[in-house]
Structure 1
Amino acid sequence: MRRHPTLAVQVRDRLRALIAERGLRPGDRLPSENELIALFEVGRTSIREALKLLEQEGVIQARHGDGRYLTSQPSLDRPLTRLEGVTEMLASRGHTADNTVLDITAAEPDRHQRELLQLPPGEAVVRLERLRRHEDDALLYSVDLFPRSLIARPLDEVDWTGSLFRLLAEHGHNVAYAVAQVRAVTLDETQAERVASPRDGAWLLLVQTHHDSAGRPLLYSEDYHRGTDFSFHLVRRRD
């Protein structure tokens, strides 16, 4: 039997959407409890429980006698079963990040890349390397690979700083699911130089192959999440 989310969880999710819709940034003040009660048409208890959930997740912090504010540093805990892009993930927590394109190239794929993306002979692969920063701190370093034929426009005419999922969808390719693996790693010397980060810190590497609804591989990604700012969770059940 499917379990429905509690009212507090529903209100928490509506609060996340409100933060994104209003473009609130770290340090901004949330509406008061009375304003939220009127806006969401729920009781004070549900509002307080939802706010407490956001506090526990590190999204907001309460200041005695002065309301609740978005935290100055992202603290991102996400269910591993939820498929979302980094841009969407940050927005759901009310955070924005500077997205820097480090490199974008189209080249002949190697054997491993050809097998991952099931590329036909002669098909080139696009390699997109990007870095997300928050207040000058590296949050996420990513390398994405996808078939060149998915994007009809010249590469230098595309804005690569936005959501890659959205860009693919605009060209008629919708990501439906992904096969993922996550593990803790340290950056190698080259990667550490690219992100201007010490090598001794732990990063969470999320490796994914994204498919459309027909099972066709659209995108292979390696996302390195800084371990002090990201965590992933999942629900485990006994058979």
Structure 2
Amino acid sequence: MLEKSYKPLYKQLKEKILQDISDQIYRPGDKIPSQNELAKLYEVSRVTVKQALNELIYSGILSTQKGKGTFVKDLPFNKYTNNRLEGFTESIEKIGYKAYTKVVDVTAIEANKYLATKLQVEIGHPIILLKRIRMINGVPMSLDISYLNKSMISNIEFTKEFLENKSLYRLLREKANIKFSYAEEKINAVLSDVETSELLKISKGEPILFIKR
């Protein structure tokens, strides 16, 4: 059963389905329950279910197959599993898609307590904030925000012009001899804020996946 709140039931249901996808209850290619099953499970009308599903279909999260049902869409990111840690550009190019990276912002900042802990530096240590839009075949797919220890990348020219459409992982590997062996990821379902919506050209409040690596 969904909560009684100011938020419309269809939005609650949409967020619940997205969270289930994020938690891998429904994986890419999986068939989700039918409209009747969802209506019974969450004690809502079929109209509510249909509205929630339609928004997820429009957002590219789900797809329908006539006579078969509704399925979790298999995005390009799910079609390639690498055996070593790679960046967006390298992974996407390997599966035959055209990747492009647009640099939105590159700024020198000082590490706050959170960044200092994560990067294992002192509070106030110089950090590079890098914000980029990642595109596949010309379509904005993600907004990447990276924080880099400036002292470890002093020989890399961190300007918009130099970084435009370059693989960050490749640069770090070739220019700074920094190689990543593994990464931990935390994935959450969230609703897009104003800045993210504008940069990805989607409506404010659209369901998106927030990945922290």
Task: Name the TM-score, length of structure 1 as normaliser.
Answer: 0.51
The alpha-carbon deviation at position 137 of structure 1 amounts to 2.3
What are the ranges of 5 or more consecutive residues in structure 1 without an aligned counterpart? 1-72, 209-239
The alpha-carbon deviation at position 203 of structure 1 amounts to 1.9
Q: Residues 177 and 135 of structure 1: is their aligned pair in 2 closer, same or farther, counting only changes over 3 Å?
A: closer
Match of 1:155 among 155, 158, 176: 158
| Structure 1 runs (4+) greater than 6 angstroms displaced | none
Tell me what 2:171 maps to.
Answer: 167
Contact 1:150–1:168 (CA under 8 A) maintained in structure 2: no
Match of 1:181 among 178, 183, 186: 186
Cα deviation, 1:92-118, whole Å, max 9, x if unaligned, reads: 210012211000011111111111111
Larger strand share, 1 or 2: 1
- Separation of aligned partners in 1, 2:103 and 2:135: 11
Q: Percent identity?
A: 26
Contact 1:74–1:95 (CA under 8 A) maintained in structure 2: no
How many residues are matched? 136
- Separation of aligned partners in 2, 1:88 and 1:160: 15
RMSD: 2.5
- Separation of aligned partners in 2, 1:85 and 1:106: 22
Larger helix share, 1 or 2: 2
What are the ranges of 5 or more consecutive residues in structure 2 without an aligned counterpart? 1-73
Alignment of 1:101-180 (within 5 A): 101-120=103-122, 122-153=124-155, 154-156=157-159, 158-170=162-174, 171-180=176-185
Alignment of 1:1-239 (within 5 A): 75-77=76-78, 78-79=80-81, 83-120=85-122, 122-153=124-155, 154-156=157-159, 158-170=162-174, 171-208=176-213
Q: Residues 83 and 174 of structure 1: is their aligned pair in 2 closer, same or farther, counting only changes over 3 Å?
A: closer
